[in-house]
A and B are shown apart, each in its own frame.
Chain A
Amino acid sequence: EAGVTQFPSHSVIEKGQTVTLRCDPISGHDNLYWYRRVMGKEIKFLLHFVKESKQDESGMPNNRFLAERTGGTYSTLKVQPAELEDSGVYFCASRSTFETGELFFGEGSRLTVL
């Protein structure tokens, strides 16, 4: 069974540009989460999808960030326009509704904004 996959693994863009990160959860996992780790800080929650619906987006930093999960399968996280402080590693995780607690994480997408 394939794990959570994220693309790209690393993206380098200039301030003001747009980047779209993609996450493919484990097949059948209704719950999908986005987290972010800025260098030297904790891994912070961004938002949570249940199927295609946003269950909790309390961690989204501002309206430059847009997450979608059309059809309840893969998800995208778009940053537009990117700022320097958006640099960090963006993690995606998924979880089955029928299993308690454990989140399965992808390897992360490292974003560098110059």
Chain B
Amino acid sequence: AQSVTQPDIHITVSEGASLELRCNYSYGATPYLFWYVQSPGQGLQLLLKYFSGDTLVQGIKGFEAEFKRSQSSFNLRKPSVHWSDAAEYFCAVGISGGYQKVTFGIGTKLQVIP
């Protein structure tokens, strides 16, 4: 069965600083990979996804993520964080093919300080 590890439960960054959120997955075949964000009082919103092709994927709100098969990682990055990026971020892995049950990590809560 697939699994996702997000090693950082809380991260604090200063506004304008760069951000990297870590994600490692476990799955035997080529996975579908996702990053979702949940802002306070909101549902889960898809930031970006990787299915195949270019391993550097661009998402909404200026986020990007890089799939590294050798490291089983899919880290999320943003060059300059805005106060509105404060939220909880979830990495997820889906089964390629089949009915696409998606497995989530525990989430990383991002705090942005002035």
In the complex, chain B residues whose CB is within 8 Å of the CB of A29: none
**Cβ–Cβ contact A50 & B99, under 8 A:** yes
| Stretch in B19-27, B38-46, B68-76, B78-86 touching the partner | B38-46
Q: Is B43 touching A101 in the complex (CB atoms < 8 A)?
A: no
Main SS of the interface on chain B? Answer: strand
| CB of A43 within 8 Å of the partner chain | yes
Question: Closest residue to B3 on the A side, CB-wise?
Answer: A42
User: Which residues of A are at the interface with B, using a C-beta cutoff of 8 A?
Assistant: 3-4, 31, 33, 35, 41-45, 48, 50, 55-56, 91, 93, 95, 100-108
Q: How large is the interface on B (under 10, 10 to 19, 20 to 34, 35 or more residues)?
A: 20 to 34
A107–B43 touching, CB < 8 Å: yes
B103 at interface by CB-CB < 8 Å: yes
Can you offer 12 A-B residue contacts whose CB atoms are under 8 A?
A: A33-B101, A33-B102, A42-B105, A56-B99, A56-B101, A101-B51, A102-B46, A103-B100, A105-B43, A105-B44, A106-B43, A107-B42
Q: Is the interface of A mostly helix, strand, loop or mixed?
A: strand
Q: Which residues of B contact A (CB under 8 A)?
A: 4, 32, 34, 36, 41-46, 49, 51, 90, 94, 99-107
Residues of A within 8 A of B46 (CB): 102-104
Identify A43's interface contact among B90, B94, B99, CB under 8 A.
B90
Closest Cβ of chain B to A57, distance in Å, is 11
On whether A100 and B42 interact (CB within 8 A), knowing A41-B106, A50-B99, A56-B101, the answer reads no
Contacts of A48 in B (CB 8 A): 99, 101
Q: B36 to chain A: closest CB distance in Å?
A: 7
A105 touches B51 (CB 8 A): no
State the CA gap A102–B60 with chains docked (Å). 14
Residue from A55, A95, A108 in contact with B43 in the complex, judged by beta carbons closer than 8 Å: A108
B90 A102 Cβ-Cβ under 8 A: no
